[in-house]
Amino acid sequence: DLSHNVILYLDDITVSFDGFRALNKLSLTIDAGELRCIIGPNGAGKTTMMDVITGKTRPDSGKAFFGQTIDLTRMTEPEVAHAGIGRKFQKPTVFERHTVFENLELAMKTDKRVRNTLFASLFDDQRDKISEVMKQIRLDKAADRVAGLLSHGQKQWLEIGMLLMQDPKLLLLDEPVAGMTDDETERTAELFVSLAGKHSLMVVEHDMTFVEALGGKVTVLCEGSVLAEGDLATVQADPRVIEVYLGR
């Protein structure tokens, strides 16, 4: 029963490591344009779920579809990335010795158009795209700054910008605001809210202030499956969720 509006469809996914079920009949659906937060205690299976979505881990059973027809369980990591799923790990990885502009240029999809390699000048639309992304990630005044000199938060934004250069349909973000200042966290929330609609986002996060600022639906994972789903206030009031967070 796939609505045409679904960007990610996980159904009954199980992943075992030496008999231990990291994911246990996990089912989860994300609509196109949605901004979904994933919360849950350590060991709940959040990383394993993203590994399944990105083709890094093959599930023992279950379905994982991107859009209507793309079967993620049959794809390699590069194929998944190429299909339009961008993943950001927790720690920033940028080219420290290159400028902001160069980082974004390096992240750009390779272009089939022939360009004069001697002068290696960018096409206007490519330059426009980099400018647009620099504005989105609030680094348009830092185009020529070497990435290694950026703050931690700015490096995180730059890496998100590098993902945006690939025009992803779905972004998977693992604890993007960990280590950020309150101000950077707030700006990151604004960025993600502005990206939703055009992109779909799945954000794994522990910072509840940030989750609240994002405002989307929240999925609580526990012991490899979905424990609760709904707006933040509703899941936070759920006795099963309270028990998982406070009862250990």
Binding site for ligand ADP (CB under 6 A): 17, 22, 40, 42-48
Least distance in angstroms from the C-beta of 96 to ligand ADP = 27
Least distance in angstroms from the C-beta of 47 to ligand ADP = 3
- The nearer residue to ligand ADP, 23 or 232, going by C-beta atoms, is 23
- The nearer residue to ligand ADP, 90 or 93, going by C-beta atoms, is 90
| Spatial distance between the Cα atoms of 99 and 225, rounded to a whole number of angstroms | 42
| Closest by Cα among 186, 239, 179, 178 to 212 | 186
- The nearer residue to ligand ADP, 42 or 110, going by C-beta atoms, is 42
- The nearer residue to ligand ADP, 10 or 22, going by C-beta atoms, is 22
The one-letter amino acid at 79: E
- C-alpha distance from residue 13 to each of 49, 63, 180 (Å): 9, 6, 33
- In sign, the C-alpha dihedral spanning 14, 203, 30, 162 is negative
Backbone angles phi, psi at 244, to 5 degrees: -65, -40
**Residue tagged 């994982």 (tokens):** 64
- The nearer residue to ligand ADP, 52 or 85, going by C-beta atoms, is 52
Least distance in angstroms from the C-beta of 236 to ligand ADP = 18
| Alpha-helical runs (H) found in 62-181 | 77-83, 100-107, 124-136, 152-164
Going through the chain in order, the beta strands assigned E by DSSP cover 6-17, 20-31, 35-39, 61-66, 70-71, 85-88, 170-174, 200-204, 218-222, 225-230
- The nearer residue to ligand ADP, 89 or 95, going by C-beta atoms, is 89
Least distance in angstroms from the C-beta of 7 to ligand ADP = 21
Least distance in angstroms from the C-beta of 40 to ligand ADP = 6
Least distance in angstroms from the C-beta of 174 to ligand ADP = 8
